[in-house]
Amino acid sequence: MPEYTKPLPIPSPETQPFWDACKRHELSLPYCAACDAFFFYPRQFCPTCFSWDIEWRRCSGKGTLYTFAIQYRPQMPGFTPPYVTAIVQLDEGPRLLTNLVGIDPSPETLRCDMPVEVTWEDATDEITLPLFRPAS
């Protein structure tokens, strides 16, 4: 595996299940049984009703492009502009900050609400990142 030069997340006890699922190429989010709803980012209790009855459930990996920005200047080492930072509206409800790949990073090709799906970047032996691409 070539050296990965972009910044990497540091899993915490609350986020470790998310990263473990990513390693399996599964998008998994915390779910509150009392609210019958997913939430994100991971916390030990539901941010809506404060219930501690939380479980991890696998999600579809499908959603829509909520908003995006085309980055023309590298903000961190390892990034090759232009690239797209995006917030994806997941079908299950929560929004996820990510990168959009597999599409020309141009104002002519990108549209809010376009359907997208998760794809995986195996960054290191420990970390796999959930990225998104236009839905097939």
Based on CB atoms, which residue is closest to Zn ion, 46 or 131? 46
3-class DSSP state for residue 17?
Answer: helix
Which residues sit at the interface with Zn ion, rule CB under 5 A?
32, 34-35, 46, 48-49, 51
Question: Least distance in Å: CB of 48 to Zn ion?
Answer: 4
Give the shortest CB-136-to-Zn ion separation in angstroms. 33
Give whichever of 32 and 123 is closer to Zn ion, judged by the CB atom: 32
Residue type, 33: A
Tokens of 22: 């990513």
- d(CA 15, CA 63) in angstroms, rounded, equals 21
Rounded to whole angstroms, the maximal C-alpha distance in the chain is 45
Report the nearest approach of Zn ion to the CB of residue 93 (Å).
12
CB-side exposure of 13: number of CA atoms within 13 Å? 1
* 7 versus 50: smaller Cβ distance to Zn ion: 50
